Structure 1
Amino acid sequence: RARVHHATYPALAEPQGPRWRPGPAPLRTPAGAAAAVRADAALAARVDFHCRLAWLTDRQLGEAAEAAREAGMAVGLVHDLAVGVHPEGSDVWARQGDFAAGMSVGAPPDAFNSRGQDWGLPPWRPDALAAAGYAPYRGLLRELLRHAGALRLDHVMGLFRLWWVPEGREPTEGTYVRYDAEAMLAVLVLEAHRAGALVVGEDLGTVEPGVREALAARGVFGTSVLWFERDWDGGGAPLPPEAWRADCVATATTHDLPPTAARLSGDHVVLRHRLGLLAGDLARERAADAAETAEWRGILQRLGLLPEGPGDEEAEIRALHRFLARTPARMVGVWLPDLVGDRRPQNLPGTWDEYPNWRLPVAGPDGQPLTLERIAASPRAHALLRTAAEGVGARTAPPGARAV
């Protein structure tokens, strides 16, 4: 039924537009739309068309997963579960009672964004999930895991609590709403076990005490990003590689952070200043950023990971991945833009229409978009992947360690 709802929604949106709330009253609910489809042969044909598109997508995804396994990928495809869905999308239209109307998911002010964040995504209603026996969440996980070797959960802290922002209010005026984490985690690990898949949680940002421990106790890996792994209780110096946790994916960056080339050059500070996202003075922010990158260059040289010396951007990025490979992390991730020196973040938290989030094709250092063929043939990409693979292969790591 969920697939039929998903196919019905775009069929309705073709003539009336993607916003269903101001549309004709009979089409604002799945029941009303089903009656309209039964009475309109042309509309029914469009629903069939979109059902076929969904079937083709699922089939192609299965073929991609099979090709990954045949190519020797130990994990296979890693799927992603976003923290929410579009407020005018088919999910909310089909399950209107399961989402909190007039609310949006976001984040409170933190060191990364002093204004807080509003992501424009309606949250699950915890009471509705409980009343349904968590069937909507269970069904979502089951479909995502059909062809997955691993599943990454965006903002995994949302299994415990989410920052709700009332419509029309600032993110600073939001509040935390709690979920039944025991139930949410039980459904998650059960479905992952049935699928034989790993689970990785993005546990970055504001994480309340006990969350990481609860996830680790259930076999859910965390996410450790190089720039954030510091001894916060002992002066704030970067953690040595052997002090990192093992049950995680270790990366140099993520989709919500600057590519490594931008981090090393300081371009990310200039971009955030241009968009009004800096809390402090530009000169002070640039000086602090330069001091941090200089600290890391010194660490890489002391560990013998940067034999080329500072000043070579490609060499420095490879050195940072050598550092990641020295940690006990069970998986080491390489960010696609880092392979080719792209400087633009794919997503800039705290922006809405100020920045082209999720609309940027992967590009080289000159900003020119690259085709898949050019990425695959890039000497820079091959050198970085070879560095990561050799580093993971040479280390003494926990059983099952992988490069992904």
Structure 2
Amino acid sequence: MQENGSSVEQRIRIWLTGRIAAIMDVDAATVDTETSFATYGLTSADVVGLSGELEEMLGRKLPETLLYEHPSIGRLACALAAPQAAPEALPEALDETPDHRDDPLCVAGLACRFPGGANTPEQFWQNLIDGVDASAEVPAQRWDAHSFYDPDPYAPGTAYTTRGAFVDDIAGFDAKFFGISPREALRLDPQQRMLLEVAWSALEDAGIPADRIRGSRTGVFVGMMATSQYANVLTDRGGPAMLDDPYVGLGTSPSVLAGRVSYLLDLRGPSLVLDTACSSSLVALHLAMASVRNGECDRAIVAGVSAIVHPDMFRQACKMRMLAVDGRCKTFDAAADGFLIGEGCGAVVIERLSTARLHHHRVQAILRGSAVNQDGMSNGLTAPNGAAQVD
């Protein structure tokens, strides 16, 4: 006899209640079916395991994001018991005008500065092919990582790992090339320094001389997590008197990042900084593509940048249990226990394919589309997600 929806839902509720009680080692009577899974402290491994067990019990394939889309026992049971609807047809094309479809966007230039000596796209690609491990101990020039080390994740003021991925010579910067005085250069966040150099290199890679686009409608879209790391470094070393230096504010403000590129290169398109955590660069690309398509700018420099310069970043990440103890990412592995925190900068120059061909700029890839969304009230707070389709 086939079960009706209500009996299936009740059976799933009872099963999930028992499994969560077993995982958390609590009495099943104390498990609230409307409390989110995140509140019970389920790890990502627990979530994947439960999804797999549900697949076996119900005899059908379930999406990997199941417990994130329905983040409580009640909501999940209701969703699983509902009749399965036929999948919706995918739209045939993006909502664009015919001219936009016929004239896609392209990547005309790219540049990078990443750990493992990957200071060019070619070297970065070679590192990937060779399986180069760029993880390393925190450089002594940053801070004494072992003075903060404690294997106990709950020990106050400590971090349980001393490893990360770091770029070479983060202090190196050709200030004179960009017309910046030595005094101001010392107050520039390393992220501003890296961005200037990598953005310039991306233009060179595209075959676009910087002096030829001065005054042009070129946009700058930068993804960066806003932190006060470098400001903390300056005040740690210079004391409160550092705040009397007029260059500190502009040198450490995240909002200045994109504006400094636009200012030094005299670019007149949109100029903004995006902070959506791990998706910042993709969201920046999505907005840049929309800006070029909408005619707000003729081309855009899109970049992502990050620098690890203060121990507070490590401490916070460890207290949130985000970092792997051994400094190794173990994606899709049962032993996964976090990620390795890294730094660097990457930049691309995007424009219409017809523009690139007209001016004999390089065409490295075609950008077919992009999208951004948020998980809403899923199994834990997250930033927006971004994606791009590249050929």
- TM-score by length of structure 2 reads 0.27
Structure with the bigger RCO (C-alpha within 8 Å, sep 6+) is 2
Tell me which structure has the larger Cα radius of gyration: 2
From the two aligned structures, give the one with the greater helix fraction: 1
- TM-score by length of structure 1 reads 0.27
